[in-house]
Structure 1
């Protein structure tokens, strides 16, 4: 997409963190922005922030796992702006503490999948047909995770949901390439956002702390790995740009990375330096699983 100015963007999970950064950057490029978040006050605050800088923005309180609510969102946005050229399916949740797959309840899996995968699918299902009817270039960004590219022990529900986002996005990119719509997958590494407090959105009885979930670290300690240890909840000062794959950063630079990827139609967006050794090991294991040439 060569020109963002004058286009309309829908950004979910935009009440804070990476979503806020993406919404602000798109607005700075001249886009109208529908700021979507389950937290109405947070969405309104970001919309006001955009408006104060001279751009048009609307706030929408939506649970993306609710298909009817997403249909209602689309109706509101199209009534206000007339079109949507950029869709950022960014809303997501996670579980703390990290836990073994066998200690992750069915309800845990269901909750994480409903938001992280079905939330993306709902946005895709509702907006893509209308986007296809809109002339000109369009683009979709689906937020996945570095956890879909490398193995993260103790993070099975999140990794499964984000891997499903990858599968949907790869297929959609191939399909929509003929429809004038690009698709990018955002793979954040450790970005310090309020996602680590996601379970505030569950009933008190469903929250991990109320159920006494056994942490993955009780099974195996992996010192030095902040993803496994869940150190995102520790108050520290973080840079905007990561020097290593596992360094925690602020979400401030994410918006610029996403806007640049939209303009270049990049299939993947990483917030951190690539974990090359882990990626290579996974790729090598895939190749090693193929039948070997017969030695006749």
Structure 2
């Protein structure tokens, strides 16, 4: 059976459906009750045995309750997807970011994964097998995007948290290996553009993370991002969420740590970053979302900008 946080929509809902198609029982967890109920009913309508549990991943007691309720209802857990996440809501340069934005991003994207590991891994170890899949992103997992779709500096909050998710998952993989268990850790890089609610996370921002600074610009929607790309002569092709879910199922079967799709040009940043580290050179591999180099200032003598 599978547990998926952030299961009310987007990748999480697609994962729940895909696991159900494999004959697994599914628990979808999300902080939003109404969309969660809709997602659960949709799976049940397809003949999938599914339950929805309202869960706040920023609160460990809530995740602990999710684990207990899952075990009480189904008796075991085989796959845990720490998938809940919040997107970019900050504006301006990173020293201008609202501290509430940092707290929200860290609590959901980092602590949410830590809470999932803390609550479920001991259960999996007790069973002797299972899989933990943590959702990452090339934005941070590879390198932070430097320039955003709307033309200004991209938020530093989101990529910082996704870099942490990668490090957490690498550490989890090593720690599990040291125990000799058959429990496995995996990191998911969905890849490409995804038509999910994470672009508009601000719509369901909890009051306890309410902004403490007045915004200078309006909140952006996915439609704004698409319009910006089209104005620049670029065309957005969304990666089907079903493709991402297939990627996870295939990765579990292959016992693959890196759950990634086919190679893309975006992965060149990994090679360039490694080269920069080994050469002790400046990070000229940072890019904007239109794949333009973020290093606009020409180099002067001595290699300095």
1:288 pairs with 2:286 = no
> Is the contact made by 1:103 and 1:213 (CA closer than 8 Å) also made in structure 2?
no
Greater relative contact order (Cα 8 A, min sep 6): structure 1 or 2? 1
Which of 209, 214, 227 in structure 2 is aligned with 1:211?
214
Write out aligned runs for 1:115-134 (5 A).
115-134=108-127
SS in 1 for 2:26: strand
Write out aligned runs for 1:40-119 (5 A).
40-96=33-89, 99-119=92-112
Q: Distance in 1 between matches of 2:251 and 2:216?
A: 39
Q: Describe the shift of the 1:214–1:270 C-alpha distance in structure 2 as closer, same or farther (beyond 3 A).
A: farther
Q: Which runs of 4+ in 1 moved over 6 A?
A: none
Unmatched runs of 5 consecutive residues or more in structure 2: 147-153, 228-233, 282-305
- The alignment yields a C-alpha RMSD, in angstroms, of 2.7
Shift of 1:203: 5.2
> Is the contact made by 2:90 and 2:101 (CA closer than 8 Å) also made in structure 1?
no
Q: Describe the shift of the 1:281–1:208 C-alpha distance in structure 2 as closer, same or farther (beyond 3 A).
A: farther
1:248 pairs with 2:233 = no
SS in 2 for 1:117: helix
> Is the contact made by 2:105 and 2:158 (CA closer than 8 Å) also made in structure 1?
yes
Shift of 1:270: 2.7
Q: Describe the shift of the 1:231–1:209 C-alpha distance in structure 2 as closer, same or farther (beyond 3 A).
A: farther
Q: Distance in 2 between matches of 1:159 and 1:30?
A: 35
Q: Describe the shift of the 1:26–1:286 C-alpha distance in structure 2 as closer, same or farther (beyond 3 A).
A: same
1:279 pairs with 2:270 = yes
SS in 2 for 1:253: helix
TM-score (norm 1): 0.80
Q: Distance in 2 between matches of 1:176 and 1:268?
A: 16
Q: Describe the shift of the 1:236–1:101 C-alpha distance in structure 2 as closer, same or farther (beyond 3 A).
A: closer
> Is the contact made by 2:5 and 2:29 (CA closer than 8 Å) also made in structure 1?
yes
1:166 pairs with 2:166 = yes
Q: Describe the shift of the 1:273–1:233 C-alpha distance in structure 2 as closer, same or farther (beyond 3 A).
A: farther
Q: Distance in 2 between matches of 1:57 and 1:66?
A: 23
Q: Deviations over 1:201-225 (max 9, x none)?
A: 325796669821469xxxxxxxxxx
Shift of 1:30: 0.9
Which of 145, 150, 175 in structure 1 is aligned with 2:137?
145
Q: Deviations over 1:259-279 (max 9, x none)?
A: 111111211123574323211
Q: Distance in 2 between matches of 1:288 and 1:69?
A: 46
> Is the contact made by 2:186 and 2:258 (CA closer than 8 Å) also made in structure 1?
yes
Q: Deviations over 1:181-220 (max 9, x none)?
A: 11111123321101122122325796669821469xxxxx
Q: Describe the shift of the 1:181–1:41 C-alpha distance in structure 2 as closer, same or farther (beyond 3 A).
A: same
Q: Which residue of 1 aligns with 2:194?
A: 191
Unmatched runs of 5 consecutive residues or more in structure 1: 1-7, 216-229, 238-243, 291-296
